[in-house]
Amino acid sequence: MMVRLMLILCCAAAGWACLPGAGRAAPLHGDEQQRETSVTIIDGDTIEVDGERIRLYGIDCPEPEQVCGSAKDRWNCGESAMAQLDRVLTLNRGKLTCEPWSSDGRDAREEAAEDDTFVCKASNKDLADGLLRGGYCVALPHAFPEYREAERSAKEGKLGLWGGDFVPPDEWRRRNRAAPATR
């Protein structure tokens, strides 16, 4: 009877989690036990977990309304970054962990994080690294060396942003609106 009940609950949870925009089970911080949470994608480098805004450390993605490419091959690079982040989170639902990291590159796990910058992993794969490797974003100057290497690899492969013309996200924000706080 207990096995049958667990099977029913697992099937129900799996079906619910497949709905678009459904919350995903995820520990916000690695040392917490897994619990039901709501994850919302704000833009390519920002998510919201149970109402807490989390910026991915070391990267800057195009804004949702940002368009990249030349006049003949324009594409919405901001929406593309968001879609990729959504794909990764959907494929790895229930396996998200985020650790605080200060915006200047210091490990903030032992101190209260002064900002909302985190290193997040889905199924133990770094979200920022994956976005960089696909060319969906740029590495910030203070980013981990691995992030800068991931960006270099995308540039060499002409992936994503690096496959054509684009305005760096920070410059695009300066031109189009007031820039948010440094990531």
Q: Per residue in 91-102, pLDDT tens?
A: 988 789 999 986
CATH class of 19-176: mainly beta
- Write down the domain spans for the chain: 19-176
Residues 6+ apart with CB under 8 A from 124: 95
Cα→Cα distances 55→122, 176, 179, Å = 15, 21, 15
Distance CA 19, CA 15 (A): 7
Model confidence pLDDT, tens digit, residues 114-156: 567 899 999 999 999 999 999 999 999 999 999 999 999 999 9
Distance CA 161, CA 70 (A): 11
Average pLDDT, the chain: 78
Higher pLDDT, 20 or 72: 72
Strand partners, 25: 36
Contact 57, 119 (CB under 8 A): yes
- Dihedral over Cα of 159, 162, 165, 166: its sign: positive
Phi, psi dihedrals of residue 99, rounded to the nearest 5°: -115, 135
CA 32 to chain centre: 20
